[in-house]
Structure 1
Amino acid sequence: MTADEAREKIIRLNPDVVFLDIPMPGKNGFDPLKSLHEPSFEVVFVTAYDAYGVMAVKFSALDYLLKPIDINELKATVVKLERSLAMKKQNIRLANLLHTLESRHAGGNTKIALPTQKETYLVPVKDIVRCESSNNYTTFFLTDGSDRLISRPLYEYEELLTPYDFIRCHQSHLVNTLHVTSILNEDSGYLIMNHGAQRVPISKQKKSYVKSRLTL
Structure 2
Amino acid sequence: MIKVLIVDDEFRARNVLQHYLSNYIPEVSEIRLASSVEEAKNILLSFNPGIIFLDVEMPHQNGFELLTALKSFTFDIIFTTAYNQYAIQAIRFSALDYLLKPVDPDELKEAIYRHMTKQESVRQKRMLYDNLVSNIEKKDIREFRLAVPSSEGVFFFTINEILRLEADRNYTVIHLKDKRPFVASKTLKHFEEMLEQFKFIRTHKSHLVNPDHIIRISNNNEFIIISDGSRVEISRRKKDEVQQHLNIR
TM-score bracket relative to the smaller structure:
0.5 to 0.7
Alignment check: 8 A CA contact 1:158 1:166 kept: yes
Alignment check: 8 A CA contact 1:165 1:178 kept: no
Where do 1:1-216 residues align within 5 Å?
13=20, 85=110, 102-107=135-140, 108-186=142-220, 189-195=222-228, 197-216=229-248
Aligned length: 142
| SS of aligned partner of 1:210 | helix
The two structures, once aligned, show a CA RMSD in angstroms of 3.6
| SS of aligned partner of 2:178 | coil
Change (3 A) 1:39 1:214: farther
User: In the aligned structure 2, how far is the partner of 1:163 from the partner of 1:132?
Assistant: 19
| SS of aligned partner of 1:113 | strand
* Counterpart residue identity of residue 164, structure 2: R
Structure 1: tracts of 5 or more residues without a match: 1-8, 17-37, 43-81, 91-96
User: In the aligned structure 2, how far is the partner of 1:204 from the partner of 1:99?
Assistant: 40
User: In the aligned structure 1, how far is the partner of 2:114 from the partner of 2:207?
Assistant: 25
Alignment check: 8 A CA contact 1:105 1:111 kept: no
User: In the aligned structure 2, how far is the partner of 1:168 from the partner of 1:101?
Assistant: 30
Alignment check: 8 A CA contact 2:203 2:209 kept: yes
Using the TM superposition, give the Cα deviation of residue 99 of structure 1 relative to its aligned residue in structure 2, in angstroms: 7.8
Alignment check: 8 A CA contact 2:173 2:183 kept: yes
Using the TM superposition, give the Cα deviation of residue 151 of structure 1 relative to its aligned residue in structure 2, in angstroms: 1.5
User: In the aligned structure 1, how far is the partner of 2:234 from the partner of 2:178?
Assistant: 24
Alignment check: 8 A CA contact 2:170 2:187 kept: yes
Change (3 A) 1:145 1:122: closer
Change (3 A) 1:104 1:120: farther
Normalized against structure 1, the TM-score is what? 0.54
Change (3 A) 1:199 1:40: farther
| SS of aligned partner of 1:158 | helix
Amino-acid identity (%):
27
Structure 2: tracts of 5 or more residues without a match: 1-15, 25-101, 116-128
Change (3 A) 1:104 1:165: farther
* Counterpart residue identity of residue 236, structure 2: K
Change (3 A) 1:154 1:215: same
User: In the aligned structure 1, how far is the partner of 2:235 from the partner of 2:132?
Assistant: 31
Change (3 A) 1:99 1:176: farther
| SS of aligned partner of 1:157 | helix
- Relative contact order (C-alpha < 8 Å, sep 6+): which is higher? 2
| SS of aligned partner of 1:106 | coil
Normalized against structure 2, the TM-score is what? 0.47
